Every structure is written in structure tokens, then in C-alpha cells.
Structure 1
């Protein structure tokens, strides 16, 4: 533990480094940790002492600091009011042995936590997502881009009120520490909430405006670092960090990367070589060419009738490196940049969240199998799209009097078969905490599943759906759906065996070059 003047000198060094990094007279440590840290460095000494003092005599489980943090964590987790938390502190103070060190008021607890730097900062933003009122715009009253007022207008007095038009308060941006073991890094207590972006609508492509404070912090952590105290070694060190990648769904991928994930070139891997075409009757863009990722001698490449009537012998395109992407972006006029000094050299920049993909796939699959209105992908316009592409003409819609009928496909279920599927879901029982009660999610009246959450879709896709469809679909359809469920099951495992990697890469019968058959197959 740092003694006497050493604590003051160490805190002074931290503050001086913060002033140098900020390039201003206002120290970062003062802004983040409290305005009294520089003038009263004994607060840092007090914090270290609270981390070592037992809560009461002979207590080995809790210190004064750890007890306060754990209780405040419960308050935040279960949404306790300040009044109830204050009464709880008083009660526990009386229940514990005499001369215990537990804070007896909410003010004392907050004062202890504020020394840790666990505060937050509200930043006003333009309602049109043009700028954030920080740095050179800190004292501005109107947006310099669109001219919108920073504050709301009082309808009664027709004057400007002090209420800001927009404050960060809704959409979360979290950071995950990746130098922890895989079984710890995604735990809630190791995630850091860095931003809350205002709602009710997401900022879309203007998310750059709201990420500016985070990007500034990341640049500081990469270039300068911050002085951090190591309680285990009882010493300070310079902490640095690097942003490895982002984890998001596909629309957010476009917002963060700046690449358009809509239109004729929506694939960020194929880019200019994306196989796409416009379907006028269904008014959608159709993406094809998936067979180019198969091995060169794969039989699917030469089949015509089963696909779009053409053979596909093209090689799979290579994804652009970070340097190539940066070179292309240099010609663009970007007002707010997304790049960092090391970003172009990373092998992976953005990762798609498998839970989002899994949920979307399952909802589309169940919507199509159960023919749920608004969810099915096999409707009238979809059949007209097949006619436009001259594919599966036996599924083309036809007229019967004044009605239009759709021929049943191999995956079309009758009403009785739909009831069997829904009844199977109702009869399934899983261990406590494994998932939601599936039977409550099934509507026998409408023959559909409602209120599915991401984890429910995860369990249904990987475990329950293959069981529910065993007796109602043709064999080749069942096998295709089951193999897709097995694919999601394998990629969600903590470990992927080499033999499964080969199978998931569609080269189970071919060599790594896609041409040479493997021995024994």
C-alpha cells in the first residue's frame, strides 16, 4: 500500500499525465474522478485504505469498499429506489456487529464510489444528429450545421427553455475486455457501458457523431495510455488498449463500417462482383452466386435446373484487406472518420453477431413453414420473382376464377401438419433456466409462435426444431433444415474440432484447394 506523501505524489503524476494528454489546463483525472482529487490527493489514499479495511472485526469476506460496491451493484441490477436503498443501508448498519464500517447513508455510499471515477457525463446533441455539443461546440446555443436550437422551445412563453433537445440516454454501446479467458470476457461484470445514445430511433449512419467521445478515449488509450493502480502488485502501470473488432448485426455493420449493405453491391466481400438482379414484380433485389464459394469440382456448380438455369464456375472473390479499404476511402470526403492508426492492419474489423442472424433465420423459417402472415418468405410476390428468373415454373401462381392460387411446394404444410408441429412444441419440456416455457409461446388458435426472444430462438434452432419437424416434411427437406440447425450448433460451440471445420467449409470431400479429393472419402 502506498504510504503518506507517496500517494499524493503518485496521484499528482496521474493528474499531470492526464493534463498532458488533454492538452489543456483541466486535468482528465479531475473531470472523471472528481474535482477534489488534485487539491486533496488523500482521497486516493482513503480509497486504498477502504479496499483493505475489513467491514467489521474478523470479517474475511468483505471490505468497506467491496461491500459498498456489491450493494450498489444490487441496487442497479434490481432497480431499487434511492429511498429503499437508504433504508436498507440503515438496517444493515444496525444488523451488523458494532463498530462496522458500512456506509449508513446514500450520500456516503455515492461519495465512496465517486472516488473510483464511476460517474457519468451527459452530452447534448443536435436533434438532427449533426453534432454533439462538446469541445469547440461546448458553449454553442445552435447547431452550426442545420441551425436547430440546442434547447427546446417553451410553447407558453415562446422562449428557449433549459431542457436540451436531445441527450444521450437510450441506445447502449459496450466494450468487452478480450484479454480475459473466454468463459469470463462475456460475463456482465466484465462489460463496460461506454455510451447511451438517445432514442427512440437509432442514429443509423450518424452514429459517428455519437461515437466521437469513445474514439477520443480509444486514441488516448492507444497513443498515451493512462496510469492505473494494480492492487495485486501494489504498484501503478501505464494501461493501453486496442480495439480489436466490433460485434453487431448486418445493418449495424453498414452503419459502423460506412459500407452500404443495400443495393446491387451489398456484399462487403464480393463488392463489385456481387451477383445481384432486380425483380420488378416483387420489387426486391435478389442475390445469387453462392455456389462460387464451393470447391471447383463440387457437383452443384454444374447443375442448372436446381438453381438459376446456369452453371457457375467463377472463383470465390477475396475479401479486401484493411489497407485496401483505407486506400479506397481516401478518395471519399468523410466529415467524421472511423479509422484509427492501427485499424488498417487488423485482419478482422467487424464481426456479425450469430444470435441476431440465428433469430432472423428462425423467424423466417418458421414463418415460411407455418405460413404466418407477414413472416412467410413464400408469398405471391416471391412466386412472381421465380417467374422473372425463369426458375421453378411449376410453382408459378395461377388463377382460378377470380382467385389466385399458389401451388404447394415441398415444404408447404397442411393445417393438420401445422397443428402437429405446434403440438410438438407444447409438449416439449426443458430444464429450469434452459429457456422460456416454450408451451406459452405457442398459439394454437393462429398456429404460430409468438414473443420469441433471442435465446428462445437459439434453443429452438439448435435443439427443438429438428425434433418438431420429423414427421411432417419430406425426407430431403428435413435433412436440409436439420443440417442447417447442426451448422448453427457447431459454430456456437466453445471449441470447433478440425474435422468439423473442414465440413463447415464445404470441403469435406475435397482438399483445401477445392479440387483434390481427400483420402478415404
Structure 2
């Protein structure tokens, strides 16, 4: 009988009873022997502190951490404000949130609590996620991710299941050049179930396979990938038992490979669609019209892009601008679905099954060499984007061709004599055809898309003297050869910066019909590489890029257009499927391979050196989760501002900036005009003062949209606010607001450098003689149209103090250039390129 009663009592003793029992224990148990306070009373006092004095939560968290650190009875104290609130909530003082119709028709309450739309107006309860609306900031937002979720809802219902990306590329594991070529191929896997700032970072990129050198594995890469594919199949079908530290429980975690990331040659190795020959494009497949040049001997994608234009576009009917007497009526090549591609390859043997041999029709009707081992994954055909075109290499190769051709770099230009001979056969451009010379040789006329030698030298001289912000780009001056009029040794990121930012300025001396398409190409890559993409912007990019390439086809010879000039036509479509390119390009993996290269100590055992170094690094990462943060990975980031623990939080937002000065401080006495200007600027940028600005405008019957409002605020508001704050009848009791109303001290500290939000700022004088410039500032206008945007340079960096205000306020004292259009600034009407007259201030 006692056993039955015990079982019945345990069933009746619900979780709510247990919570209340824990609360009674916390209320009765003193913090230490003889103490009058308990854990519950301390928690209530913390809540009272926030309620009575409006103390920020971060401040209470800071106080709680101090108490835990200094008191010996750590287990009896709340470690954060959240923990204190959670304990007090057990008293039963809870609130209930009830949804209502957006039009106020009904409450989703009682019998209607499970409804998903209003019974009267049929408006949805939750905002629906519509295609074409919103931004793409992460692969989670893109079409391929959501398509996979719809296809496999059981996988999608567990948010802890992992999505993986795979990258493989070869690199030479020697920092110094070696007479013996050596190619090592790491296979790296990265996870995308992370916030944007953690994706593609070193702790979450895993070396899963290391293919030994010294030569390129080529077709045999599938042989080395077998263990990885087997593990991926197991993670999909069975999963692996994983411990969730937040839930304190085990669960079965599953994983899927969503795509691969490679340069173009490795793309062909992993997809098994050869990226060589006239069918090299893996998206157009057998639908492209590439051909082989008679004299150049290489494949050209010239005049392959008019089919992507609208049917009524004039370029489709042009018989002189492109191939002679050719009119294009064809549709663009269809993009095959995963099921359609699987229909192609399911009967093709794998590399690991048969010897190497070319398939029937290779190079004519298809470019399949074998069936990729990735098709062994049961879900591979359901991925919308299986292999990514690498924007990093495409942009670099495109830029190299444009730059070397426009600068007419010897042995690098695409506009050589053979290109002109092919042009005479294909195009109708008599002004560019070779002209017989008196000595029997052929003379190449100068093209209007090439700079003269003096203009090329001036471009290199401009780059030699160019200064950019710290961390924005490498030192491009080291690449400029002024005497020869060319650039040497530019890395991929140098080409990235030049293509997207410098190209319109460097080639501004070109004729408009050449400069405009090049500028549009620059803006295309700049828009494509944005951290945040919008669906409507991607649609516009997809519509613009065929037009841009067709414009370039009317300018450059057919030999200019190799596969790298064709592939950008598909990049907006892939961005629509996969999201921002930052998660799908090679930059993070190239940096990781650079780390591998620096870890090679034994050149006779390259792979062993890399493996041991990587295992040590992974062991360190694993162990770091069990130690305090200060013991491992405490290296400060580049241009790091003040740390959160070093900032004394106040109730004023203007005082809680995570910035820090650097260098030696000097004392400066503000003039009355400087003090007044600084005080007004702080007031109008402080969120807590905004209600008082509204009250000031209301008391003077001034509308906020009225142009005179800003003049009145700058001229009269500081005195009005001080008088209003010190008047006790107005009820301004916040001591920080009272201190702010009295204005700053006239004696301030000045600095030469200041770090905030990951950026470094210098004064103009401090930037003199340095390779970088960090004194330029830009303030966006309120209209958003650019008419009232301000550009300037930092003259001084002031650190102001207010009486009794616990934190200082940093200000940049700037010299502004004339913002008036066509007087101080000139904005290109089509491309929004801003030219500032530095002598008008």
C-alpha cells in the first residue's frame, strides 16, 4: 500500500510543485551561516534596483558577476540578472501574451488560440514570408536552403541538424619557390548553422581529408573522397549521438552537404563535367555557342550572350556590332534541374568502378567524364545548387583580361596580332584590322579601348601615390611599375578592390562608349559582392549583366572572351539560390591554405607536418571550451575598440560607445563656438534627449519637417534644455540628464588616433607621411538621395567630460567640403560616382 501511494504521489508531484518547492528552499536557506539574506531576497533586491532606478540590465549583470567573484559562497548567488528574474518568476507572477488580429477584429484566445488567420477579415496571424521580399544575409535566407527544407521536412524540423559546405583546391606547400613542383590538396568542410559573423571562420572549418602530392589528383580525386562520402551518408541516414550543452541532453544529429566551393578547374574535377573545351560552361552545358578561333587557337565565347537579352532588344537584330550578318533569335540555354542532371549521369560509371576512358559524344553533345562520387549521396539530386562558381577567381581573371588589354601590357593583352586576324574574319570592324606596312610586316592600329603609353604610366603613377584606409586593401603601390606602365604581383583581393572601386577612376580617360560598360561591370561585381542582397536587386543584376557583356563584345575582339568572361552571366542566378557570395567563395579557404603552408616544417613530409599542426590546433580549440576565455585565444582583433567589461554603462546612449583613444593625450581649451557646437551635436544625437527636442519644437509651434527647425534647435535648444532640466517642477530627476544639460567642460583631451567599431581613425595631420589614410569621414544625409551627404576630414579628436557624468564622450572635429552639387561635389547622374573638389570647404 505504501508503494502504491508513493507512485501516486510522484505522478501528482508535477513540475510546478517542484519549482515551488525549490523556491521555498531558496527563501529559507541563508546565503551563509548567520546571514539574514537568502538567495531569493538577493534576487528580489536586484529586481528592485532595476525597477526603482532604471538600472540597465548589463549593469546588473556586471554587479552580479562582481558578487560571484568576490564572495566565497558562489553557488548561493545569482550569476546574472536573467537568473535572478527566473527564480523570482517561480512565485507565479507571470504574464500572458495574447495575439490579436492586425485590424483588431478578434483575439487569438481560448477556442481561437490555435487559429492562423482572422475569422472575419481573413488576415494572416503571422506575417507570411513572401518570395521576392526581404534581404539575403545568410544561406538560410536563400532558395536552395528552403527548397531542401520543403523536400525533407523531418530533417528541417530539427534545427540542430547541420548543413555543410565542402571545398578542395591544390596549393604549393612551400613559402619559397622550389625547383620541384609539388601540389597538395586539402579537403575542407565548413558548417553553415551559425550566425553570419561565425560562418566561414577558422574554428568552424575542418580539414577532413588531405590528398597527398606531388601531383594533381585530377580524376582520381573521387578515390580519396570515398571515406568522406561514406561518413556523409551515415550522417544522413543514421546520424550521430551528440550532446546539447544548452539543453543538457543527448540527441541524434544529422548532417547534409549542400554544395561544394572550388575554382573552375577543381569544379570540373568534383562535378565530373569537364571545364575545358567548347562545352566548358557547366550551367549552359551543351546549349552554348562557343567556338574555336582560327588564329588564336583557343575557345571563344564571343557573341554567346545575345540570347540572354529580351526578345525585342535591338542587339539581337544587329548584323554589324557582333558576328557579321548574324541575327539571334535563340532562347537562352535552359538550366537543368537536379532530376534532369541525374537522368544524364545515372548510367555513367564512376571513376572508382572503371578505368579511365572517354565517353561517347564527349566534347560534342556533353562534357561528362565520369559520374561524380557526390551522386552517391541520396539527397544530392535535390540540391538546387550543387557546385558553386567561385566569384573570387572569376572576378580576378576578368579583371586581369580587362586591365592588361586596356593598359596594352606586352605578352598579357588579349589584343595581339592573332586576335586582330580573328577579328577580321568574325567581325565587321575595318578600323581595327591589321594594315600592311612598307617593310612587308603587318601594323596593328591603336584601338580606342587601349590607353596610350603616357596614359598607362599616369595610371600607375596615380596608383603609386594612392592611399586607402587601414585594412581596406594591401599596398597596391608595390605592384605599380611606372616605367613600364603595368601592374605586377596583384593578388586576388587586390584585383577585387581595383575592379569594384578603382577601375572607373583609373580608366576615366577612355572614350565614353568604352568607359561606361567598364564602369557598369565594376558596379555589377560591387553589387554582387554586397553583404546583404535584395531579391529585386538580384533580378536587376541578372537583367543587366547580359547587356553589359554584349556592350563589351561590341568593343573588344573575340579573343578577349574566354570562359571567365562568360561565367558572370550565371552569377546572379546562383546568388538567388545560394545567398551572398561571402559564404560561397574561396577567400576563407585560401587563407586557411596559407595557414597550412606556414605550418610545413619538414619539406620531406609535407602532409605529416600539416596533419600534426592541424590536430594540435583542433585539440586547442576543443580544450578552450573548458577553460576561461582569458587563458586561450585572447588575442585582440584588428582595430579593436574598448571591451564591454571596460565600459561603465549609463542611462545615456551617447555615453555607451565602445571606442578607445590611442597615443599620448594633449590638453586643449575649447573656444565658446567649439564648446557650443560640440554640446549641440551631443544633444541631438542622444536618444534620451529626443523627447525634449520634440517638446521644444512643440512649445515654439515648429514642425519637425520645417526647414527652420534645425536652425532653431542649434541656436536655442541648449539654453532651453538647461532651463527646463533644472526646473524641479518639470520632474527631470535623472542625474545623467541633469549633467548633460549643464554642458561639457571647456578643458578637453585631444588624441591623434581613435578605435571604434573595428575601424581606426586618424587626424589629418597624423596621416601625413603614412601609407594609409584614415582621416576621411562621410555622413549620410537625411533625405537618402545624396543631395545632403557630407564629406570631410578629421581635424581633431576631442574627448569631452560632463560634470558627474561617469563616462567621457568622444567627438571628431571635422572640416567639411562644400556639399552643394556642381560646386563642391560632382555626382555622375547614371552611376552615382562622387567627385569632391578638395579646395572648396
* Partner residue, 1:348: 385
Mark the CA change 1:416 to 1:507 in structure 2 (over 3 Å): closer, same or farther: closer
Q: Does 1:204 align with 2:206?
A: no
* Partner residue, 1:327: 343
Gaps of 5+ in 1: 1-56, 61-167, 511-521
Measure, in 1, the Cα distance between the counterparts of 2:404 and 2:218.
27
Q: Does 1:408 align with 2:446?
A: yes
CA contact (8 A) 1:291 1:312 kept: yes
Mark the CA change 1:274 to 1:169 in structure 2 (over 3 Å): closer, same or farther: closer
Q: CA deviation at 1:404?
A: 2.6
CA contact (8 A) 1:441 1:452 kept: yes
Q: CA deviation at 1:483?
A: 0.5
Q: CA deviation at 1:507?
A: 6.7
TM-score using structure 2 length: 0.39
* Partner residue, 2:490: 452
Measure, in 2, the Cα distance between the counterparts of 1:451 and 1:270.
33
Q: CA deviation at 1:387?
A: 2.2
Q: CA deviation at 1:474?
A: 0.7
Q: Does 1:436 align with 2:461?
A: no
* Partner residue, 2:682: none
Question: Pairwise CA RMSD of aligned residues?
Answer: 2.5
Q: CA deviation at 1:217?
A: 1.5
CA contact (8 A) 1:295 1:507 kept: no
CA contact (8 A) 1:386 1:393 kept: no
Measure, in 1, the Cα distance between the counterparts of 2:70 and 2:200.
31
Q: Deviations over 1:384-405 (max 9, x none)?
A: 2212324423312233114332
CA contact (8 A) 1:177 1:190 kept: yes
Q: Does 1:172 align with 2:186?
A: yes
Q: Deviations over 1:346-387 (max 9, x none)?
A: 111111111111111111111111222332111111112212
Q: Count residues with an aligned counterpart.
A: 346
* Partner residue, 2:76: none
Mark the CA change 1:211 to 1:392 in structure 2 (over 3 Å): closer, same or farther: farther
Q: CA deviation at 1:450?
A: 1.3
* Partner residue, 2:320: 305
CA contact (8 A) 1:395 1:406 kept: yes
CA contact (8 A) 1:276 1:286 kept: yes
Measure, in 2, the Cα distance between the counterparts of 1:324 and 1:186.
31
* Partner residue, 1:181: 195
* Partner residue, 1:103: none
- Could you tell which deviates more after superposition, 218-227 or 269-278? 269-278
Q: Does 1:256 align with 2:294?
A: no
TM-score using structure 1 length: 0.63
Q: CA deviation at 1:169?
A: 8.7
Aligned partner of residue 261 in structure 1, secondary structure: coil
CA contact (8 A) 1:169 1:197 kept: no
* Partner residue, 1:216: 230
Aligned partner of residue 182 in structure 1, secondary structure: coil
* Partner residue, 1:13: none
Measure, in 2, the Cα distance between the counterparts of 1:190 and 1:464.
33
Q: Does 1:338 align with 2:384?
A: no
Measure, in 1, the Cα distance between the counterparts of 2:183 and 2:235.
25
Q: Deviations over 1:204-262 (max 9, x none)?
A: 22211222221122111111111122222222221211010111122221111111222
- Could you tell which deviates more after superposition, 267-276 or 421-430? 267-276
Measure, in 1, the Cα distance between the counterparts of 2:463 and 2:213.
36
Aligned partner of residue 245 in structure 1, secondary structure: strand
CA contact (8 A) 2:449 2:510 kept: yes
Mark the CA change 1:394 to 1:169 in structure 2 (over 3 Å): closer, same or farther: closer
Measure, in 2, the Cα distance between the counterparts of 1:297 and 1:450.
44
* Partner residue, 2:534: 497
Mark the CA change 1:507 to 1:381 in structure 2 (over 3 Å): closer, same or farther: closer
Q: CA deviation at 1:58?
A: 5.7
Measure, in 1, the Cα distance between the counterparts of 2:312 and 2:219.
42
Measure, in 1, the Cα distance between the counterparts of 2:292 and 2:425.
9
Q: CA deviation at 1:498?
A: 4.1
Measure, in 2, the Cα distance between the counterparts of 1:330 and 1:253.
19
1:267 is aligned, of 272, 281, 284, to 281
Aligned partner of residue 482 in structure 1, secondary structure: helix
Mark the CA change 1:59 to 1:275 in structure 2 (over 3 Å): closer, same or farther: farther
Measure, in 1, the Cα distance between the counterparts of 2:515 and 2:544.
22
Measure, in 2, the Cα distance between the counterparts of 1:249 and 1:170.
15
Q: Deviations over 1:140-160 (max 9, x none)?
A: xxxxxxxxxxxxxxxxxxxxx
2:249 is aligned, of 221, 225, 235, to 235
Mark the CA change 1:286 to 1:393 in structure 2 (over 3 Å): closer, same or farther: farther
* Partner residue, 2:311: 296
Mark the CA change 1:335 to 1:499 in structure 2 (over 3 Å): closer, same or farther: closer
Q: Deviations over 1:463-485 (max 9, x none)?
A: 11211111x21112111111100
Measure, in 2, the Cα distance between the counterparts of 1:319 and 1:301.
21
CA contact (8 A) 2:320 2:427 kept: no
* Partner residue, 2:78: none
